[in-house]
């Protein structure tokens, strides 16, 4: 989900972003058990026999999570800055206040999808990659 400027179909765009975010959340939740089921035996094997553990995969697991959650945090920060900027913009009429409110809603709804994007990519990518390793 990339940041888009509001179109003349703002409410439809907001609805579509909400639907897309919900779909990606379900895809992420579906991928997690496959990743956990593939990695738990690796973690157990490394704990029992550290010399034969799959350390590249275990290191990758930590690095990927750190990167995905860092990107998600940065995304949320950018969206909160955009919302604050919109709040601070002066409104001179009821029409401009309504438009400003709609833009704030657009930023807020899109924020969740943009923050989920790196986590979704890591989880679904890992599920696909680790499925072939069993």
Say how far apart CA 94 and CA 116 lie, in whole Å: 34
Judge contact between 119 and 74, C-beta under 8 A. no
Mean pLDDT, the chain, integer: 87
Residue 1's pLDDT is 54
Burial 7-33 (b: 16+ CB within 10 A, else e): eeeeeebbeebeeebeebeeebeebee
Angle between helices 55-88 and 94-131 (to 10 degrees): 180
Average pLDDT on 93-102 reads: 78
How far is residue 114's CA from residue 72's CA, in Å, rounded to a whole number?
Answer: 7
pLDDT at residue 4, rounded to an integer: 55
With tokens 């400003």, the residue in question is 100
Q: Render 24-62 in DSSP notation, one character per residue.
A: HHHHHHHHHHHHHHHHHHHHHHHHH-GGGS-HHHHHHHH
**Interval 15-29 mean pLDDT:** 93
Find the range with the poorest average confidence among 3-12, 63-72, 118-127.
Answer: 3-12
What would the pLDDT profile of 33-71 be if each residue is shown by its tens digit?
Answer: 999 999 999 999 999 999 999 999 999 999 999 999 999
Tokens 């690796």, located at residue:
42
Q: How confident is the model at residue 102 (pLDDT cuts 50, 70, 90)?
A: confident
Please say whether the beta carbons of 65 and 36 come within 8 A: no
Average pLDDT estimate for 70-99: 86
- Predicted confidence at residue 7, as pLDDT, reads 61
What tokens appear for 69 in the block?
């959650």
Q: How much is the average pLDDT of 107-129?
A: 93
């Amino acid at each position: 989900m990339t940041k888009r400027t509001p179109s003349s179909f703002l409410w439809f765009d907001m609805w579509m972003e909400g639907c897309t975010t919900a779909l990606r959340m379900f895809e992420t939740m579906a991928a997690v058990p496959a990743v956990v089921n593939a990695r738990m035996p690796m973690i157990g094997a490394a704990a029992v026999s550290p010399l034969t553990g799959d350390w590249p995969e275990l290191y990758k697991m930590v690095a990927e999570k750190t990167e995905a959650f860092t990107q998600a945090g940065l995304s949320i920060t950018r969206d909160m800055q955009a919302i604050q900027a919109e709040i601070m913009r002066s409104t001179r009429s009821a029409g401009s206040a309504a438009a400003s409110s709609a833009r704030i809603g657009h930023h807020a709804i899109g924020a969740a999808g943009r923050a989920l994007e790196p986590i979704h990519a890591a989880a679904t990518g890992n599920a696909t990659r680790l499925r072939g390793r069993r």
